[in-house]
């Protein structure tokens, strides 16, 4: 699969993007849905393709990979959303590269962002499935984390979540409905939920931002 880097099929991506846009337009319940094209595991060419095709944002999971790819694309890239596990010691390297921090899930990350990226726009990631290997703040602690972020000068755009790893549709729907309800309780409009396998459920449950990788670009060349 090493030849995958640099070999994004732009025509195929454009076709899938058109279908996805139609799906989002049809299914939107809370106004226009932002499309974050997840480029992790692909080369900088995926970022450039996302840019040329007018994707609203790109999503990256790994600090070094994100920094290298964005450097390679110069200014010609969509806004960068960081969607992977955030390590406090990597935040510094990402300031100036990342536009929206989607995976903020604990106090140490909030505090580091408040220190290094005053005014940064964030989502608070919620672990809505209780899976211990998943990132995200337990639902009961979300309000406190949102308040801490705000008092640190961060702009909280909404909540973000990842559905259950086993993809069970009932559990996915329950997780998304719970996160949407929690966002509404907190007066937050933004809800980042829905990936390639569960976009429709996310739309039905009121997502405002989907993060789609494989359904746009095909299988990832690396299992990063």
- Residue placing its CB nearer to ligand PLP in the complex, 71 or 224: 224
Give the residue, chosen from 114, 145, 191, 195, that forms a contact with ligand PLP under the rule CB under 6 A: 195
- Residue placing its CB nearer to ligand PLP in the complex, 21 or 150: 21
Three-state SS for the chain is CHHHCCCCCHHHHHHHHHHHHHHHHHHCCCCCCEEEEECCCCCHHHHHHHHHCCCCEEEECCHHHHHHHHHHHCCCCCCEEECCCCCHHHHHHHECCECEEEEECCHHHHHHHHHHCCCCEEEEEECCCCCCCCCCECHHHHHHHHHHHHHCCCEEEEEEECCCCCCCHHHHHHHHHHHHHHHHHCCCCEEECCCCCCHHHHHHCCCCEEEECHHHHCCCCCCC
Q: How far is the CB of 214 from ligand PLP (least distance, A)?
A: 4
Give the residue, chosen from 34, 61, 73, 161, that forms a contact with ligand PLP under the rule CB under 6 A: 61
- Residue placing its CB nearer to ligand PLP in the complex, 46 or 154: 46
- Residue placing its CB nearer to ligand PLP in the complex, 164 or 213: 213
Give the residue, chosen from 79, 184, 214, 218, that forms a contact with ligand PLP under the rule CB under 6 A: 214
Q: How far is the CB of 68 from ligand PLP (least distance, A)?
A: 18
Confirm or reject binding of residue 50 to ligand PLP (CB under 6 A): no
Confirm or reject binding of residue 40 to ligand PLP (CB under 6 A): yes
Confirm or reject binding of residue 163 to ligand PLP (CB under 6 A): no
């Amino acid at each position: 699969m090493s030849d995958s880097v640099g070999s994004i099929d732009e025509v195929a991506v454009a076709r899938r993007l058109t279908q996805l846009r139609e799906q989002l337009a049809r299914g939107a319940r809370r106004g226009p849905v932002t499309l974050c094209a997840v480029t992790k595991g692909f080369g900088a060419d995926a970022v450039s393709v996302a840019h040329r095709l007018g994707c609203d944002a790109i999503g990256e999971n790994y600090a070094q990979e994100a920094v290298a790819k964005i450097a390679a694309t110069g200014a010609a890239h969509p806004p960068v959303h960081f969607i992977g596990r955030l390590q406090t010691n990597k935040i510094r390297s990402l300031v100036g590269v990342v536009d929206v921090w989607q995976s903020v899930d604990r106090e140490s990350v909030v505090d580091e962002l408040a220190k290094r990226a005053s005014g940064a726009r964030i989502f608070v990631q919620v672990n809505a499935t209780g899976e211990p290997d998943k990132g995200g703040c337990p639902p009961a602690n979300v309000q406190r984390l949102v308040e801490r972020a705000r008092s640190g000068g961060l702009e909280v755009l909404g909540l973000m979540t990842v559905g259950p790893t086993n993809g069970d549709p009932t559990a996915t729907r329950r997780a998304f409905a719970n996160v949407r309800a929690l966002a509404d309780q907190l007066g937050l409009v933004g809800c980042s939920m829905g990936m390639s396998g569960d976009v429709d459920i996310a739309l039905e449950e009121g997502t405002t931002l989907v993060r789609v990788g494989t359904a746009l670009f095909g299988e990832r060349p690396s299992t990063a």
